[in-house]
C-alpha cells in the first residue's frame, strides 16, 4: 500500500474512530453501567484463583482508557508523519481534556477525572510509539529488499 492510500484509509478510520469515541465518552451513562457488578464478580473470582489483588477495577479501567486512545497515536502518526509525532500526543491530551471537561459540565452521571486524562494521553503516546516502530520496520524492510540481490 502506498503512502497516499495509507493516509486516505487512515483518514476514514480516524473519522469512524472519533464518532465511536464520542459515543463512548459522551453518552449520558458510563460504559460500565450495568456491567460493574459482573466485572467485580469476575475480578473476585480471579483474585480467589491467584490473580494479585492489585489487578483491580481501577487498574482495569485505567488500562481500558489507555487502549481507548491508542488509535489517536497510531492514526495520528500516519496522518501527520513521524517527524511530528508529538502532535498526536498533544491531540490526545487536548481531546481527553475536552471529553473530561464536557463530562464535568454536561453529564452529571459521568465521573471525569485527571486519571482519565493521564491514561488517555499515555494511550496516545504508546500508539505514537507503536506507529513509529511500524514505520521504521517497514522502511528497514524496504531498504533490505532494495539491497538484496535479485
> Domain-by-domain residue ranges, the chain?
3-147
Model pLDDT, residue 37: 80
Cα–Cα separations (whole angstroms), residue 31 to 22, 26, 64, 103: 12, 10, 11, 13
Write down the mean pLDDT value for the chain. 91
- Distance, in Å, from the CA atom of 120 to the CA atom of 107, rounded to the nearest integer, reads 19
Q: Cell numbers for 148, please give them.
A: 538484496
Asked if 94 and 43 touch (Cβ cutoff 8 Å), the reply is: no
pTM, two decimal places = 0.86
Residue of 115, 73, 84, 81 whose CA lies nearest to 97? 115
Rounded mean pLDDT of 105-118?
Answer: 94
150 pLDDT exceeds 60? no
The pLDDT confidence band at residue 102, using thresholds 50, 70 and 90, is: very high
The pLDDT confidence band at residue 147, using thresholds 50, 70 and 90, is: confident
pLDDT in tens, 70-81: 999 999 999 999
Amino acid at each position: 500500500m502506498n503512502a497516499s492510500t495509507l493516509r486516505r484509509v487512515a483518514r476514514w478510520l480516524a473519522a469512524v474512530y472519533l464518532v465511536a469515541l464520542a459515543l463512548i465518552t459522551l453518552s449520558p451513562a458510563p460504559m460500565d453501567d450495568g456491567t460493574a457488578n459482573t466485572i467485580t464478580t469476575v475480578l473476585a473470582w480471579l483474585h480467589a484463583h491467584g490473580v494479585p489483588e492489585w489487578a483491580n477495577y481501577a487498574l482495569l479501567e485505567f488500562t481500558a482508557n489507555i487502549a481507548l486512545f491508542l488509535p489517536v497515536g497510531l492514526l495520528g502518526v500516519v496522518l501527520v508523519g513521524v517527524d511530528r509525532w508529538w502532535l498526536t500526543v498533544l491531540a490526545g491530551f487536548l481531546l481527553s481534556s475536552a471529553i473530561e471537561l464536557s463530562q464535568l459540565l454536561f453529564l452529571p452521571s459521568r465521573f471525569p477525572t485527571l486519571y482519565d486524562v493521564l491514561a488517555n494521553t499515555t494511550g496516545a503516546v504508546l500508539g505514537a510509539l507503536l506507529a513509529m516502530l511500524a514505520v521504521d520496520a517497514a522502511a528497514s524492510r524496504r531498504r533490505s529488499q532494495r539491497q538484496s540481490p535479485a
